[in-house]
A and B are shown apart, each in its own frame.
Chain A
Amino acid sequence: SQTIHQWPATLVQPVGSPLSLECTVEGTSNPNLYWYRQAAGRGLQLLFYSVGIGQISSEVPQNLSASRPQDRQFILSSKKLLLSDSGFYLCAWSPGANQETQYFGPGTRLLVL
């Protein structure tokens, strides 16, 4: 069966510091991968998605970037964190081309101070 991992689970970072969140999927190949952010009391907002290695599409211009160095690895990064980057970050995967259901990881809680 497929599983999705995210780490760290919780992160507290000072403003201006770099960020690297990692997401990996097991038990499948060539998944579509997604990064979402959830602000307090709100639904999820799609940040990035990837349909293959090295292929990244950005939904929202911001202080963040994403990379996909391996088929089942998706990384969310920032060079300098802002206070507004605080939130809950969820990684998700779907089985591939036009497969509609997305399955979510456990998430990372990021607090920027």
Chain B
Amino acid sequence: AQTVTQSQPEMSVQEAETVTLSCTYDTSESDYYLFWYKQPPSRQMILVIRQEAYKQQNATENRFSVNFQKAAKSFSLKISDSQLGDAAMYFCAYRSLGMGSNSGYALNFGKGTSLLVTP
């Protein structure tokens, strides 16, 4: 099974500054999807951004962007102009491309990074 590692249990950033959250994964597959989800105190998982492994261009969504390094199996999330509302747990997740197999449906999550935003 693919494993996802988030090596930073906690991170802190000042409002309006930029922060980068790290994620590495282990896989032997060539095609897959990667995601960042945000879990605020309400605990609902909210999709932040996704990346298809076959695309070389890094995904961006407003203030959120990723640095996808396929060879290094690295998928970091950069949050620019941090806001108080960005404070949450952030989870990196991996999903196989394959359909019809067990691994093809599961999102494999890392253990998360808690982001604190200070005024």
A interface residues (Cβ-Cβ under 8 A, vs B): 32, 34, 36, 38, 41-46, 49, 57, 59, 88, 90, 92, 97-98, 100-107, 109
Stretch at the interface among B11-19, B80-88, B105-113: B105-113
Interface pair B102/A100, CB less than 8 Å apart:
no
> In residues 76-100 of chain B, which contact A (Cβ within 8 Å)?
91, 93, 95, 97, 99
- Give Cα distance in the complex from A109 to B32, angstroms: 31
Do A98 and B99 form a contact, CB below 8 Å, given A41-B111, A44-B109, A59-B106? yes
How many whole Å from B6's CB to the nearest CB in chain A?
A: 9
How many whole Å from A107's CB to the nearest CB in chain B?
A: 5
How many whole Å from B90's CB to the nearest CB in chain A?
A: 11
- Chain B residues whose C-beta falls within 8 Å of the C-beta of A109 in the assembled complex: 43
Interface pair A42/B107, CB less than 8 Å apart:
no
- Chain B residues whose C-beta falls within 8 Å of the C-beta of A59 in the assembled complex: 102, 106
**B30: interface (CB < 8 Å):** no
A–B Cβ pairs within 8 angstroms, 30 of them = A34-B105, A38-B43, A42-B111, A42-B112, A43-B91, A43-B109, A43-B111, A44-B91, A45-B109, A46-B105, A46-B106, A49-B106, A88-B43, A90-B45, A92-B45, A98-B99, A98-B104, A100-B33, A100-B95, A100-B97, A101-B33, A101-B35, A101-B47, A103-B47, A104-B37, A104-B44, A104-B46, A106-B42, A107-B44, A107-B45
